[in-house]
């Protein structure tokens, strides 16, 4: 079938270009892949593929390279994730095994992902939206200041120092502790914030203001880092391996990596899906990264996708391998979070 061979040619071009990083010509193609046809035939196919906008030549009389559209086609139709080898699986679980902390899990995931894909890895902290309040602890610092500690089911801990208008006695502190915990523990942060918000009205008038400031701090701790989510980046050293134009790729990339808001936007699309999402070149929302791709997926405990992780690298990358690695890491991290 002619159509079939054209696609085989596209696949071969993508694979060779990814491997060698050089435009690939018709002759080299038939040598490296068993297409069973002559270079001339391949040339005809290439002309057709170019017509369709799937490949392009950097200059007349050079080999072809895939266009963004070509990669898109390749990813969507010509590839299936290659499963991880047993050794790789062992490496992954081994790497994530020893984590005792939420911070630690995230940290290790980034490192792992960067190492596995040889790209720049990005991991978003588990979103708080779905997490519940595990415990609230209030510690007196002086007679007028206390430390409010908020412990969430994801293992995240937030803390705020609060100045209170009333002198802090043990009794008052105990009462605060009991009431805030009663109102919030076990609730999702949305409901917890609401329940806490009503507390000040339910207590003796002279303590209303005190309750109000403490509650305000807790609610702020919930919403603050809850919506303004954090990301961690790793494997920046892999930028050095890109060999791509510094100005075009590396510089904008470094700038983007500093802007966590941008990263969140890049990952954002993938958060909701447990599929691996691929954004190729200029498909994304952020122009400076027009010559890079993002491979990302949602992850999280079994009660629904909580957050996302992924990698960003040059459009010319090993999509099947990268996608498989991203998926594998996401799954393992999800399991770990489930256990905790």
Partner DNA sequence: GTTGGCACTCGCGGTTGCGGAGTGCCAAGT
Partner DNA sequence: ACTTGGCACTCCGCAACCGCGAGTGCCAAC
Cα–Cα distance, 142 to 136 (Å, whole number):
19
Number of residues that bind DNA (CB under 7 A): 25
Decide if residue 250 touches a second copy (CB under 8 A): yes
Token duo for residue 89 = 């699986």
41 binds, among a second copy, DNA, none (CB under 5 to 8 A by kind): DNA
25 binds, among DNA, a second copy, none (CB under 5 to 8 A by kind): DNA
Q: Which of 40, 47, 254, 261 binds a second copy (CB under 8 A)?
A: 254
Number of residues that bind a second copy (CB under 8 A): 30
Decide if residue 149 touches a second copy (CB under 8 A): yes
Whether residue 187 contacts residue 219, with contact meaning beta carbons closer than 8 Å, is answered with no
Rounded CA Rg of the chain: 26
Minimum CB–partner distance for residue 35 and a second copy (Å): 38
Nearer to DNA, 35 or 278 (CB): 35
Q: Which of 8, 49, 214, 257 binds a second copy (CB under 8 A)?
A: 257
Return all residues near 104 (Cβ < 8 A) that are at least 6 apart. Answer: none
Cα–Cα–Cα angle for 301, 302, 304, rounded to 5 degrees: 85
Q: In the chain, how many H helices and how many E strands?
A: 12, 10
Whether residue 104 contacts residue 337, with contact meaning beta carbons closer than 8 Å, is answered with no
Decide if residue 248 touches DNA (CB under 7 A): no
Please report where in the chains the tokens 């089911």 appear, as a residue.
153
Cα–Cα distance, 19 to 320 (Å, whole number):
13
Decide if residue 159 touches a second copy (CB under 8 A): yes
Interface map 36-75 toward DNA (x if CB under 7 A): -xxxxx-xx-xx--x------x-xxxxxx-----------
Minimum CB–partner distance for residue 247 and a second copy (Å): 8
Decide if residue 328 touches DNA (CB under 7 A): no
- Site of interaction with DNA (CB under 7 A): 2, 5, 23-28, 37-41, 43-44, 46-47, 50, 57, 59-64
- Site of interaction with a second copy (CB under 8 A): 100-101, 134-135, 137, 139, 141, 147, 149, 151, 155, 157-161, 234-237, 239-240, 246, 250-251, 254-255, 257-258, 340
């Amino acid at each position: 079938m002619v159509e079939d061979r054209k696609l085989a040619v596209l696949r071969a071009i993508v694979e060779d270009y990814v491997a060698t990083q050089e435009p690939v010509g018709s002759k080299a193609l038939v040598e490296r892949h068993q297409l069973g046809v002559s270079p001339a035939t391949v040339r005809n196919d290439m002309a057709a593929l170019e017509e369709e906008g799937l490949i392009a030549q950097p200059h007349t009389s050079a080999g072809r390279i895939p266009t963004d559209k070509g990669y898109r086609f390749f990813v969507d139709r010509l590839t299936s994730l290659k499963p991880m080898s047993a050794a790789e699986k062992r490496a992954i679980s081994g790497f994530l095994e020893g984590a005792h902390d939420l911070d630690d899990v995230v940290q290790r995931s980034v490192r792992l992902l960067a190492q596995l894909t040889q790209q720049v890895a990005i991991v978003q902290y588990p979103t708080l939206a779905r997490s519940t309040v595990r415990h609230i602890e209030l510690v007196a610092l002086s007679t007028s200041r206390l430390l409010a500690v908020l412990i969430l089911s994801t293992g995240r801990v937030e803390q705020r120092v609060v100045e209170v208008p009333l002198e802090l006695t043990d009794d008052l502190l105990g009462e605060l502790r009991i009431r805030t915990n009663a109102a919030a523990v076990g609730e999702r942060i949305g409901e917890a914030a609401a329940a806490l918000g009503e507390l000040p009205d339910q207590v003796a008038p002279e303590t209303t203001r005190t309750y109000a400031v403490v509650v305000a701090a807790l609610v702020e701790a919930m919403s603050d880092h809850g919506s303004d989510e954090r990301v961690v980046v790793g494997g920046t050293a892999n930028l050095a391996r890109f060999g791509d134009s510094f100005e075009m790729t590396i510089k904008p990339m470094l700038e983007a990596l500093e802007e966590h808001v941008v990263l969140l936007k890049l990952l954002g699309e993938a958060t909701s899906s447990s599929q691996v999402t691929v954004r190729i070149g200029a498909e994304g929302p952020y122009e400076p990264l027009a010559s890079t791709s993002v491979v990302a997926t949602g992850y999280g405990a079994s009660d629904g996708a909580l957050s996302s992780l992924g990698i960003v690298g040059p459009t010319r990358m090993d999509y099947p391998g990268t996608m498989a690695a991203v998926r594998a890491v996401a799954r393992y991290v999800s399991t770990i979070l489930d256990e905790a």
